Amino acid sequence: MLRVLRWLIIAVILALGIVLVTRGHLLVGSLLCGLAALRIAYLLSFTHRRRTLREGRHPDGGRLLLRGLRQRAVTVAAATIGTEPAQLRREFAGGRSIAEIAVAAGVAPDGVVQAIAADAGAALDHSVAEGTATPDAVTQAKTRLPLWSTRLVYATRDDLEALSARRRSGSAFGPRGW
C-alpha cells in the first residue's frame, strides 16, 4: 500500500509539473518534473537491487543477507553470554568487543562465534525455504559466515566502523579488507 502511495504521489507531482510547464511557469514546472524524475530513478534502482538479490544475481548477495542478520546475531550473542541484548549493545558501543564481554562473563568467545554461526546458518536456510532468498545467494552468504561471525565477536565498534569506511571508499575488497 505504501509503495502504491509513493508512486501515486510521484505521478501527481510529475503531472503538476507538466501542467505548470504548459501554462508558462517554466521554472517551477521544470523543477517539479526534474524532482519527480529523480525520485522515479531512485525508486527503480532499489527495485532492481531487491529483485537481483532475490534472484541470486547480485554479486554481493552474501554480504547483504548477512547484514540483515546482525540484530539477530547480537540477540544470540547476548543469550549465549547470559546478558540482555540492550546491555550487550551498550557495552559494545562503549568500545568493548563481544569477545571481551564474554570473557568477563566467563564464557568462551569461540562458543559465542559458533552459536552466532549456527543461528545465522539456520536463518539463511529458513530464508530459502520461505522463498525470500535464492540458494545461490545463501551459498554466497554461508561461505562468508565463519569470517563474519568471528569478526562480529572479536572486533570492536571502532574496528567495524573503520572496515565499513574502507569498503565505502573502495579500498577494502575481498580478503584484503579484514
Q: What's the grid cell of residue 133?
A: 532468498
* Domain range list for the chain: 2-54, 61-167
Q: What is the pLDDT along the chain (178 residues), one digit of tens a residue?
A: 777 888 899 899 999 999 999 999 999 999 999 999 988 888 777 665 666 555 555 556 577 778 888 889 999 999 999 999 999 999 988 999 999 999 999 999 999 999 999 999 999 999 888 888 878 888 888 988 999 899 999 988 888 788 777 766 655 444 444 4
Q: What was the pLDDT predicted at 175?
A: 46
What values do phi and psi take at 141, rounded to 5? Answer: -65, -40
What values do phi and psi take at 173, rounded to 5? Answer: -110, 140
Phi-psi region of 108 (alpha: psi -120 to 50; beta: other; left: phi over 0): beta
Contact between 32 and 21 under an 8 Å Cβ cutoff? The reply is: no
Contact between 77 and 112 under an 8 Å Cβ cutoff? The reply is: yes
Burial of 8 (0-12, 13-18, 19+ CB in 10 A): exposed
Distance between CA atoms of residues 55 and 30, nearest Å: 37
Distance between CA atoms of residues 61 and 49, nearest Å: 10
Q: If you search the block for the grid coordinates 562468508, which residue do you land on? A: 144
Contact between 153 and 77 under an 8 Å Cβ cutoff? The reply is: yes
Q: What's the grid cell of residue 11?
A: 505521478
Distance between CA atoms of residues 79 and 153, nearest Å: 14
Contact between 97 and 137 under an 8 Å Cβ cutoff? The reply is: no
Q: Coil, strand or helix: which one is 1?
A: coil
